[in-house]
Amino acid sequence: MPDALPVITIDGPSGSGKGTVTQRVAAQLGWRVLDSGALYRLVGFAVDQRAIGFEDENKISKIAEELDVEFKDGKIFLDGREVTDLIRTEGAGNNASKVAAMPGVRAALLDWQRGYAQPPGLVADGRDMGTTVFPTAGVKIFLTASAAERAQRRYKQLKEKGLPANLAALTTEIEERDARDRSRAASPLVPAADAIVIDSTALSIEDVVETVLQNARRVYPATS
């Protein structure tokens, strides 16, 4: 039985479309969103800013525990400074992936993430939402797409934001980041045993959103 509080988890590798699907499903249902990747990006960014290197897990976990973050009107502030776009670069994604491999960092962010589960419901986007953070979620989705397709999507996204992008470099970075996320010991990127796996390579965002909504209505019939 799923928990009384409705939770949909949407996990998968970078560029699989999780972020967009999460936003649209949450908007349709009127539920909250947890963008857990942003939390790891914020920790990576804070570590980079402090120039302490990416080796000392104790120090980095402490930074994660004490992170001074504010989410306001679609913007993200770290130590009072707006970092919304700064944490979206590929460099910030790579730094996020490094700190995300540290069990101490993952532990520091766990309760914070669980705190997002509030009425009327939550759509949580990440890598371990269905396996570790919300193991009793009623609907678990694992969204994939080929690495080439994901690199293309990321390239388009970055260009649209006016950020620098190189397709070949992006493909390599995506493959490296995936390999690190899948092979780490702490909460690796794997589908939960009860996840619905959707390959979005040849699907539109609308198709994926509709599949998720159908499952949400089936499991949580009170959902509009």
Q: Which residues bind ligand DC (CB under 6 A)?
A: 14, 36-37, 40-41, 93, 96-97, 100, 126-128, 177, 181
> To the nearest whole angstrom, how small is the minimum distance from the Cβ of residue 52 to ligand DC?
19
> To the nearest whole angstrom, how small is the minimum distance from the Cβ of residue 217 to ligand DC?
25
In the bound state with ligand DC, the residue whose beta carbon lies nearer, of 97 and 144, is 97
Torsion of CA 19, 38, 138, 104, to 10 degrees: 150
In the bound state with ligand DC, the residue whose beta carbon lies nearer, of 44 and 121, is 44
> To the nearest whole angstrom, how small is the minimum distance from the Cβ of residue 221 to ligand DC?
28
In the bound state with ligand DC, the residue whose beta carbon lies nearer, of 9 and 211, is 9
> To the nearest whole angstrom, how small is the minimum distance from the Cβ of residue 111 to ligand DC?
14
In the bound state with ligand DC, the residue whose beta carbon lies nearer, of 83 and 96, is 96
In the bound state with ligand DC, the residue whose beta carbon lies nearer, of 7 and 100, is 100
Neighbours of 133 (CB within 10 A): 26
> To the nearest whole angstrom, how small is the minimum distance from the Cβ of residue 224 to ligand DC?
28
C-beta nearest to ligand DC: residue: 37
In the bound state with ligand DC, the residue whose beta carbon lies nearer, of 95 and 223, is 95
> To the nearest whole angstrom, how small is the minimum distance from the Cβ of residue 79 to ligand DC?
20
